Amino acid sequence: MISKTDSIELHDRKFQLLFDKSQIDKRVQELAESIKIKFKDQRPLFIGVLNGSFIFTSDLVRAYHGECEVTFVKLNSYEGMDSTGRIEEQLSLKENIKGRPIIIVEDIIDSGRTVHHFLKSIQSKNPSSVSVATLLYKPKAMQFDYNIDYIGFEIPNQFVVGYGLDYDGLGRQLDGVYVLEES
Ligand code: 5GP
Ligand code: MG
């Protein structure tokens, strides 16, 4: 049964709860544990992609019980970009990542374009490894071919908000993930 609090309104649209706080917390713990098993005593650098991944990144690194570093980038990728795969880095990476293990942290992978271009940019700086972690993944929307190492939840090709993700600026602070109600 859908309770009152499972339905929210942002601007002019209604959204229904998809994953609540406890489901997300549990999954984030599991992802952090899998990452720790792989990275053992290495010191990975988590790179959160702003704005959407600020909450997921902070929860993921707090659940990661090992030495690590954290930084953020802010990216903008466009349709119809040339094959060199440049992206506009509105806030760019300052760290020297040569020889270091990198984990890119995204809130959601939709078409896959943003991470595709960022991966190329990261790989050109010769890190020792690059992994991708995303809380949400829309497999039906994906247009690129690369491996996503850590996926929180696969979701249908629908618009979601909450837990860092916004609808026209609103909803980032919600502790659950909500899906747009079809009107
Ligand atoms: P891409 O298509 O490059 O994989 O995703 C680009 C960006 O679009 C994501 O990082 C995210 O900020 C935004 N995005 C994609 N799908 C959704 C969605 O369902 N809800 C919200 N709020 N943002 C989305
Ligand atoms: Mg994002």
Query: What does the pLDDT look like over 134-177, one tens digit per residue?
Result: 999 999 999 999 999 999 999 999 999 999 999 999 999 999 99
C-alpha–C-alpha distance, residues 151 and 35, integer Å: 11
Q: What is the residue with the minimal CA distance to atom 9 of ligand 1?
A: 108
Q: Is 110 a catalytic residue?
A: yes
Interval 33-76: pLDDT, tens = 999 999 999 999 999 999 999 999 999 999 999 999 999 999 87
Q: Tell me the best of 87, 90, 105, 110 to mutate to test the pocket of ligand 1, counting ligand atoms within 8 Å of each CB and taking the most.
A: 110
Q: For residue 98, which of 65, 72, 122 has the smallest C-alpha distance? A: 122
pTM of the predicted model over 0.85: yes
Q: What is the residue with the minimal CA distance to atom 16 of ligand 1?
A: 110
Sheet holding 101-109, edge to edge: 88-91, 69-76, 45-50, 101-109, 129-137, 150-154
